[in-house]
Every structure is written in C-alpha cells, then in structure tokens.
Amino acid sequence: MSRLTKISLLLAVFFGLDKVIGFVRQIIIARQFGFSADLDAFNAANNLPDLLYMLISGGALAMAFIPVLTEVLTEEGRPQAWQLFSRIANLAFLVTGLMALVTALVAEPLVGWELGIAPGFNSDQQRLVAELMRLNLIGTLIFSISGLVMSGLQANQHFLLPAMAPLLYNVGQIFGALVLSPKEGVSLGPVTLPAFGMGVHGLLYGVIIGAVLHLAIQIPGLIHYQFRWTPGLALKDARVRQVLSLLGPRVLTMLFIQIIFMARDNLASHLATGAVSALTYGWMIMQVPETLIGTAIGTAMLPTLAEFYARKDFKGLGETIDRAVRVLMSLTIPAAAILAFGVGPLLSVAFKLDAAAEATLLMVSQAYLVGLMGHSLLEVATRSFYAQQNARMPMYVSALNVTLFILFSLGLMQVMGAAGIALANSLSYTIEALLLFYLLSRKLPVRFNWLPVGLRALLAGGLGLALTLGLLAVLPLRGLFAAPLAMLAGMLVALPFIWKEVRLLLKL
C-alpha cells in the first residue's frame, strides 16, 4: 500500500467520523428548529463569514501555500519554511481582522441589498441574519490562523491532527445546540443537560467554541515540528511574493465559488420558507460521499503532486492523476445512483420533518447527487494545476462556472424550485471539472482515456440501484435499518464491475 493511499485512507476515516458527528449535529438542530425562519437566517448568516475564511486562509491560502511551502521544505529546510509560514500567517490575520470589522459595520445593508445575502427575507429575518453574521465573524478570525496551521502541518506530511480538528469543531457546535440553544434541558438517558435558552444565537456561540477547539488540537503538531513564530510581514521577500502571486488568482477562484453559495441563498430566499435550509442540508448530504472519496484523495495528493512538479517528473505527475481519476469515477458514479434513491427513508427517520419539507429535502439531495462525480473530480483537477503553481487556469474556469450556475438556476428553479438550484450546481461543477481535465491533458505527457471506466461505472450503478430499490420494496424492516442494508447490497453488486479501479486505490 503506497504512502499516498495510506494518507487517503486515514483522511477518509477521519472525514467519515466528521460527517457522522456533523449529521448528529444537523439532526439535533433540525429537530429543535425545523425548517423555520430562524434556521434559514442561521444558514444564510454563514455565507459571508465563510467567504472571508475561504478567501483568506481556508481554500485560498491553503491551495496556494502548500506547493510553495513544500518547495521550501525540500530545498531549504524546516526553519526557513516556518519563517515563511509565520509571515503569511501574520498577513492573513491582519487582513481577516480588517475585513471582518468592515463586514460587521455594514452587515445589515449587505443582507437586505437586492444582490446581497437574503433580499427575499422579511425585515425581522434580515436583522437576525445581520446579528448572527457579526457573531460568526469571531469564529472566522480564529479560523484565519487555524486554517493555515492545517496547511503547515500537511506540508510537513502530517495529516492526523488536521484531520481531527473538524471533529472538535463539530463538538463545539453540538454543545451550542444541546446546551446553549434550548430553553429546556435536553435529557440524555438519566442525565438532563443544562439549558441557557439562547435560541439560534446559541448555535453561533457553539461555532465560536468549535473554532477555538479546531485550533487548539493542532498546537501539539506545531510543537512537534519545532515551529518558531517570526514577527513581521516581509512583503518584499521572494518566497512571500511567490505565495502572493499564486494567491491572487486563487482568491478570485474562491470568490467565484462562494458567490455560488451566496447566489444560491439569494435565489432561494425568494422561494417558500425552508428552501435555504433544504439546500444547505441537501448539500451536506452530498458532501458526505464527496468528502470521503474526493476530498480525502485530493487533500492527500496535493503535497505529493507538488513534489513531482518540483522534481520535474511530469510522467509521474500524470500517472498519479490518471489513477486518481479512475478511482474517483468508479466509486462516485455507483454511489450517486444508489444514494439518490436509498437515502429517502433515512431522511424520514433522522430529521422528522413534515411531509412537504421532507419531499423538498429528498429532491434537493437527489439533484445534488447528480454532481457527486463532478465535485469529486474537481478536487483532483484543481489541485493538479496548483501543484504546478498554475493558479490562473482554475480561476478562468471557475468564472465560467459562476455564469453557468446562475443561468441554469434561473431557468431550472422556475420548474423545480429549490431542487432546480441544486441541479444547476451539479451541472455547472461537472462541466468545470471536465473542462479542467481537458486542459490538463494538453499539458502532460500521459494520455487519459476514462470512457471505459465511466461506462463500467454506469453499468455498476444501474445494477446496484435496481437491487437497492428492489430490496427497499420487499424488506420487512423500514427506515433506519432497511435503507443501509439495501444500499450496502447495491454497492456489493456494483463492486465486481469496478474492482479493477478499486484496486488502484492501493497504488495511488
């Protein structure tokens, strides 16, 4: 089993635990608040703080930072790498703090603006969104450092503590949902928890607690790798400028990605109450297999791809990408088909929504799962360009993605409501991933031929889906037990058709 495979499996395990705990968190929140106006406000309030985090230290700096940090570690050693890390972290914290302050001051106009966060909400909902958004910015400031710490440890080929950090982030949010939000104490067996009665505000205080825990768990890793903080920015330093040269296009790319989330909620705010929450929850459901498969493999690959590029081993770079794509296609196509029709009974048991809300959530989840393969492939496609320190091409294609998403959404939401917005997301992201791989194939000495894999994966998914639906129709068990058994049987039927690619997972 290769080192890259071991890292991918490690990340998949911890990402899986994170998703399980995340589902528990969302179930608790859904049972407390339902698909209500308050929950819509909470979900909408996350968008702008998430944008700041992703632009400054989350997706933007991490993707631009790891290749350069890996290069410094390879060529100059760890002390020089930590010096570069300190300068970038100092800059990220200052910029995040300034932007958070400005955002807090203009929160209410941003929410009510026709092109802003939630123009379709009533005035009370908009004021609540603004309040929650200001609280969320505190967590964003903490994440501006914690996200970079994850990048620094991953560049050192240490993935354990960064993989554990999201678990503790969820623990903080669960504390907010179980203790800070309720008016009456929640009983867990013989124990009744205290209740602070903060309502939806308690969820945000849980986010802040989770952010602190997210950073704290990674501090032992910094100590182990002998981190030494260096004050100052050193904007004229060649390595700092190298990171910033990659960061500019990456920031724009992440801006385009977050615009999609903001446009999603902007459009959904004009639909029925609960549409914003349905899209949030449906996205979360699709993200479970996407994170376990696409994000785990993509995250593990980036430092390795960067090493191939630093050594000018373009053949090894291309072959690694080829193997990863074959694995992703073989796993995500059957998984999407089986989950789309097997997840319904689980939604009924887990969330206990009324019939209309449950039907909306199921349709939205199915529409998002159409894009499972595209989202997973994009994890590898974008990292393949960043490993080569090419941030411009993903930026250009991401701009096209925004345009396609908005056009598709405006048309499909008229026919399908919230599910139309989810389907627009799936279509635009799949087009983005395929276009990036086409452009990538023109630059590498390896020729990609993924059509046979795709056809076998479609056959596997069709057979697995047929068995899943058949078992759900005849099994005497229902809901929580029937659905997992039926979906597991479906995947086992699909497995022989994709076994060749599954074995490649051991050779990544």
- Long-range pairs, 441-444, Cβ under 8 A, ≥24: 443/388, 444/314, 444/317, 444/318, 444/321
The dihedrals phi and psi of 188, each to the nearest 5 degrees, come to -115, 90
Nearest residue to 255 via CA among 389, 60, 434, 49: 60
User: What digits encode the pLDDT tens for the residues 49-92?
Assistant: 776 776 665 555 666 677 788 788 888 888 898 898 888 888 88
| 260-313 residue pLDDT tens | 988 998 999 999 888 988 998 899 899 889 988 888 888 778 778 888 887 888
Local structure of 198: helix, strand or coil: coil
Q: 187 φ, ψ to 5°?
A: -95, 125
- Give the whole-angstrom CA distance, residue 175 versus residue 170: 9
- The pLDDT confidence band at residue 1, using thresholds 50, 70 and 90, is low
Question: Which amino acid is located at 61 in the chain?
Answer: L
Residue 488 has pLDDT above 80, yes or no: yes
Rg of the chain on CA atoms, in Å: 22
Contact present, 373 and 340 (Cβ < 8 Å):
no
Helix ranges, 269-295 (H): 275-290
CA distance 72 to 242: 11
Q: Which residues pair with 191 in a beta bridge?
A: 188
- Under 8 Å CB-to-CB from 117, ≥6 apart: which residues? 44, 45, 47, 48, 110, 111, 129, 133, 262, 265, 266
Going by pLDDT thresholds of 50, 70 and 90, the confidence category of residue 493 is very high
Q: How many CA atoms lie within 13 A of 260 on its CB side?
A: 28
- Least confident range of 244-253, 340-349, 437-446: 244-253
Q: Which residues of 170-197 are buried (b: 16+ CB within 10 A; e: fewer)?
A: bbbbbbbbbbbbbeeebeeeeeeeebee
pTM: 0.73
CB 140, CB 53: distance < 8 Å = yes
pLDDT tens sequence across 389-401: 888 899 999 999 9
Q: 56, 71, 205, 41: which is closest to 145 by C-alpha?
A: 56
